Amino acid sequence: MVKITFDGIEVEVEEGTTILNAARKIGGEVVPPAMCYYTPLKGSGGKCRACLVKVAAGSAKDPRPMPKLVASCITPVQDGMVVENTTNPDVLATRKGVVEMLLINHPLDCPICDQAGECDLQNFSYEHGTSGTRYEEERRTFEKIDIGPLIQLHMTRCILCYRCVYTADQITEKRVHGVLGRGDAAEIGTYIENVIDNDFSGNVIDVCPVGALTDKTFRFKNRVWFTKPMDAHRDCPKCSGKVVLWMRGNDVMRVTARKDKYNEVQEFICNECRFDHKDPNDWTIEGARKIDRGSVISANHYELPVLNVPVVPNLPGSTEDDLKDTPFNLGRSV
């Protein structure tokens, strides 16, 4: 075990743990955001630069600071390391810059995007970005592409986190999915619209942090905050069969894998579970899913006050007073 200090908090973790995972062990506000790293996917991380932190002391043996900010998701801890995240103004300013970069070519079409409400980019920019933009140039766009009958690729929204590429590589049987081109013209290609058709292809939808890969069977059917997530399972010969049903009334609007509080899939599910069982009678329903994040999903019924939800920090104008009389009063005890 090694000991590190993260934002002034000491934490003990196993050797080889990344700085990000050490911070996750502490949990809460100090955890750096991660837009590309994804625990279940080998090789992921290092790309988006959202998780950059300052290493103020490299280790007990060599306490010199690291010269550049480092990607916390891929940098292993050393005993005696001192890391600054929310306590370092440089880190916060740089992160603001990363948000800006990720948004300059983003279409900002949240009002018509199926991912809205459960989008990592929305959360990231809301929590770490600025409200305006300095970008006056034309944004790059791509044509929408159908990846088979079930998945749609809207490349214009993609942040090139490579998660779907790793997913296609690591959990599906054959790889027809990669990145073509380079720079800001790089795109998720399926090698001339080659259909990803195998039993686990649908997982690329779940790993996508934005609305670039969406479920065509759910397209425009509903907003996620109108649907109620329910844990459910079935006997499935192909996967664990443990899913989340997103229900409106008694209808199953869509089926996804279960995700943890960092929006990472806990167990990948097969396409049959995801696309072919939209009848609640196919499932054993375990109960309402707890959504941990300050997400709009957890606010899926405005009419029923949920008690004691803490004030979501960092939101502009999110003091108790500001929110008291708005429809967004998430029922906190006033």
Partner 1 sequence: MGRKLLTEHINVEGIQTFDVYRKHGGYASVEKALKTMTPEEVVEEVKASGLRGRGGAGFPTGMKWSFLAKPEGKPRYLVCNADESEPGTFKDRYLMEKLPHLLIEGMITSSFALGARTSYIYIRGELLYVLRILEKAIAEAYANGFLGENILGSGYSLDLHVHPGGGAYICGEETALLESLEGKRGNPRNKPPFPAVWGLYGCPTVVNNVESIATVPWIVTNGAAEYAKIGVGRSTGTKLISAGGNINKPGVYEIELGVPVEEFIYSDEYCGGIWKGRDMKAVIAGGSSVPILPKELILKTAAGEDRLMTYESLSDGGFATGTMLGSGGFFVMDDQTCIVRHTWTLARFYHHESCGQCSPCREGTGWMEKVLHRIEYGHGQMHDIDLLVSVAKQIEGNTICPLGDAAAWPVAAAIRHFRDEFEWHVKHPERATAPGAVYNKADSVLA
Rule CB under 8 A: which residues touch partner 1?
45-50, 52, 68-69, 71, 74, 94, 97-98, 100-102, 104-105, 134-135, 137-138, 140, 159-160, 162, 178-179, 181-186
Q: What is the rounded CA–CA span in Å between residue 291 and residue 296?
A: 9
| Under 8 Å between Cβ of 94 and 17 | no
Position 35 contacts ligand FES (CB under 6 A): yes
Spell 9-45 as b/e; 16+ CB within 10 A means b: eebebeeebbbbbbbbbbeeebbbbbbbbbbbbeebb
**Cβ-based nearer residue to partner 1, 165 or 207:** 165
Amino acid letter for position 41: L
Query: Interface with ligand SF4 includes 41 (CB under 6 A)?
Result: no
Tell me which residue of 178, 165, 176, 166 sits closest to 198, measured CA to CA. 176
Q: Does 81 bind ligand FES (CB under 6 A)?
A: no
Residue 176 interface partner, choices ligand SF4, partner 1, ligand FES, none, CB cut-off 5-8 Å depending on type: none
Q: At what angle do helices 89-104 and 120-128 cross, to 10 degrees?
A: 140
Q: Which two tokens stand for residue 146?
A: 């159908």
> Residue 208: which of ligand SF4, ligand FES, partner 1, none does it interact with, CB under 5 to 8 A by kind?
ligand SF4
Segment interacting with ligand FES (CB under 6 A) among 35-43, 203-211, 237-245, 305-313: 35-43
User: Does the protein bind ligand FES through residue 94 (CB under 6 A)?
Assistant: no
With beta carbons less than 8 A apart as the criterion, state whether 330 and 294 touch.
no
Nearer to partner 1, 136 or 321 (CB): 136
Residue position matching structure tokens 């004691």: 308
Residue 34 site contact among partner 1, ligand FES, ligand SF4, none (CB < 5 to 8 Å, cut-off depends on kind): ligand FES
Residues 48-77 contacting ligand FES, CB under 6 A = 48-51, 71, 73
Q: How far is the CB of 18 from ligand FES (least distance, A)?
A: 9
In angstroms, the CA 231 to CA 101 distance is 36
Beta-sheet strands, E only, within the chain = 2-6, 9-13, 52-57, 70-71, 82-84, 145-147, 151-153, 178-180, 187-189, 213-215, 228-233, 242-248, 251-257, 284-288
Q: Which does 98 bind (CB under 5 to 8 A by kind): ligand SF4, partner 1, ligand FES, none?
A: partner 1
* Distance linking the first and last C-alpha atoms of the chain: 44
Supply the minimum distance, in Å, between the C-beta of residue 5 and ligand SF4.
Answer: 29
Alpha-carbon Rg of the chain, whole angstroms? 21
**Rounded Cα gap, residues 232 and 283, in angstroms:** 6
**226/262 with CB nearer ligand FES:** 262
Alpha-carbon distance of 231 to 255, in angstroms, equals: 10
Q: Choose the contact partner of 184 out of partner 1, ligand SF4, ligand FES, none; CB within 5 to 8 A by kind.
A: partner 1
* Contacted entry of ligand FES, ligand SF4, partner 1, none for residue 37, CB cut-off 5 to 8 Å set by kind: ligand FES
Residues 196-235 that bind ligand SF4 (CB under 6 A): 207-210, 212-213
Q: Which residues bind ligand FES (CB under 6 A)?
A: 34-37, 45-51, 71, 73
Q: Which residues bind ligand SF4 (CB under 6 A)?
A: 158-164, 188, 207-210, 212-213
